[in-house]
Structure formats: structure tokens, C-alpha cells
Amino acid sequence: MFKRFTNQQLIIVFGALAVIYLASMAFGGRADRTFNKTVSALDTAKVSQILITPPGGEKVTLSKNGPAWNVELPGGVKVPTGKDLVKRALESIAFLEVNQLVSKNDNDWAEYKVDTAGTRVEVMAGSAKVLNLIIGRSEYKQTMMSYVRTEGNDETYMVEGFLETTFNREANDWRNKTIIPGPATSWMGVLFNYAADSAFQLVKGANNQWMFPDSSAINASEASSFVSQLANTNGTEFIDTPPTVTNPTYQMMIQTSTTPIEIKAYQDPTYTYVINSSRNPGSWFADKDGSIVAKIFVGKGKFIPAPTE
């Protein structure tokens, strides 16, 4: 077929095709050339602040405080965040790899909730903003996927992870909810002290068995189970101010290999009980149904073996 064309004609044809190809790359092929396979690549060690704006909610500010993190409450008060909460959140966006480019059109933002219906996450490293991410809706596609967009770009990407639940939280959701930290392996004794002058103690004896100090009969299995369940007890509802009463109804002192843990519960007409822990002194927890008090402050009879017939 090519015998019908002279060499000069072939050169002209191939030259024209080259011009068309270059033009398509410069215009129609531009999106493919600039497609990024990663949405974010953060050095988490350099991150100093995270600003989160949930849809229709108040902005949440997380600030690094040495090796730890604080969350700012309304009024400007800064309190510690929960253990590893910020670390896990940062890890979820530190390296976002694109699973799919789903749209290059801003008309599709609403469908994927990467417009004002999304959660904005601004990550700061000192005074530099290193990421400005809008997190949209999530859905299950063999694994959990999220739709995201970076500010200033039209493209919407699908990435792996359930990012919406990680970041769409109120300030209190980032707070340290610890009442009794774990593990219990370093505990040596638990002292119960109640307002009715009823007090008793559990101590760790030989072979790490829990017992009464006077070596009286004890249900060792029940005592061991209780201590294990006591560790990692958290509160759920924060209150802004300490209780009006000054004398606690229930007190517990946990002796550890380092600093003792002291927990106090106050009867309160509004919240039923208000609980405070020496390991989280700036936080007060409401216990409206009394479930936390019932879990922590038990009677001695719980550990006394049932009489045998």
C-alpha cells in the first residue's frame, strides 16, 4: 500500500501525526500527565497542628505539646487527647495512595461529599500548611474506601480507609477518657474506702494471686477477674465543672510499682455520680446510670467464697 506514496509524502504524513499527538498531549492529555498517584505524603514527625472542620460543626484544633497532643475546648482551654488517637489519625492520611480517579469535574463534588458537606483537615508543620484535604463520604468496596479531594483541585479520588469516622468528631471525642489505665500487671494492691466507713483491701500475694491482707478465704478467680476488668476503664460523658460536694462517696486507691492511682466518685443531684481520676485530673465524668460506679466500687462480699454445704 505504501508504494503509492513517495518518501516525501510519508515524511509529511508522519510529521502531521506527530503534531496531532503533541497537541493532544498538550491539551486533551494534560490530566493524564499530571495525574498524581498519591494524595498526600506527610512527615508526621514534623506535624505541629491539625485543624479539623466537620460539616456544619465547630472547628477542632489539635496541637502538639512535646511528645503529646492537646485538643482545644470552647473557651480556649487545652486538654490532653486520648492515647494514640492523633497518632492513628495522622497515620491514616500520612500516605494516601490513589485507588481510583473518580472525577475531574467540580460538578461531581456534591455526589462524593467533597464540597462543603465534607470534613476539612488542614495539617500544619510549623507555619506551613502541608495538607488541605476534604474528606467526603465512605463506602464499602471489598474494603472500606473514602472519597477525598485536595483544596484548589477539581479531581476527586477514591482512597482506602474509613476516614470520615476518623476525623468527623467533636472536640470531646478527641479527649483523654481514661479513668483507670492499664495494664494491671504492675498493680500490687487495691484499697476500697467508702463513706459508710466500710473499707477493705486486696493485695497481690505469692504467684501473683490476689488475696485479703489477713489471708482469710477468698475467691481468687473472682478477684483476679475483677482486677483485670478494672484496668482500662474509661468514662464517656465529660462535664465542665467539678461537683459541688467536696467529700467523695466512694474512693479507691490502686497501689502500683510507680505512682498510685486514686479514683473518687461523688454523688451529684444532676449527674447521679461524678467521677475523677488522679491519672486524668483535669477531667470529670458523669455517671448518670451508675454503671461505672457499680463496676469499680464493689463490696467485699463479691470476693468471699460461697459457703459449702
Check residue 74 and give its pLDDT. 86
Query: What are the tens digits of pLDDT across the range 179-196?
Result: 999 999 999 999 999 987
Check residue 29 and give its pLDDT. 42
pLDDT surpasses 90 at 296: yes
Which grid coordinates belong to 124? 500544619
Query: What are the tens digits of pLDDT across the range 43-82?
Result: 999 999 999 999 988 999 999 999 999 999 988 899 999 9
Contact (Cβ atoms closer than 8 angstroms) between residue 143 and residue 160: yes
Check residue 5 and give its pLDDT. 53
- Side-chain-side CA neighbours of 248 within 13 Å: the count stands at 18
Residue 18, H or E segment: helix 7-26
The mean predicted confidence, pLDDT, of the chain is 89
What sign does the dihedral 126-134-174-98 (CA atoms) show?
Answer: negative
Determine the Cα–Cα distance for residues 36 and 18; give it in Å rounded to an integer. Answer: 26
Burial class (CB in 10 A: 0-12, 13-18, 19+), 166: buried
Determine the Cα–Cα distance for residues 287 and 271; give it in Å rounded to an integer. Answer: 6
How many CB atoms neighbour CB 32 within 10 A? Answer: 9
Check residue 32 and give its pLDDT. 43
Confidence of residue 25 (pLDDT cuts 50, 70, 90): very low
**CA distances in angstroms from 166 to 57, 62, 116, 146, 262, listed in the order given:** 15, 14, 18, 11, 32
Lowest mean pLDDT among 18-27, 75-84, 160-169, 256-265: 18-27
Residue 49, H or E segment: strand 49-53
Confidence of residue 139 (pLDDT cuts 50, 70, 90): very high
pLDDT surpasses 60 at 264: yes
pLDDT surpasses 50 at 153: yes
Q: Residue 258 is which amino acid?
A: T
Check residue 309 and give its pLDDT. 62
| Mean pLDDT in residue range 110-122 | 97
Q: Residue 90 is which amino acid?
A: L
Confidence of residue 23 (pLDDT cuts 50, 70, 90): very low
pLDDT surpasses 90 at 10: no
Instruction: DSSP letter for 48, please.
Output: -
pTM: 0.80
Check residue 15 and give its pLDDT. 58
Domains of the chain (ranges; CATH) run 35-174 (no CATH), 178-303 (3.30.1490)
Buried b (16+ CB within 10 A) or exposed e, 58-92: eebbbbeeeeebbbbbeeeeebbbbeebbeebbeb
Query: What are the tens digits of pLDDT across the range 218-263?
Result: 999 999 999 999 999 999 999 988 888 889 999 999 999 899 999 9
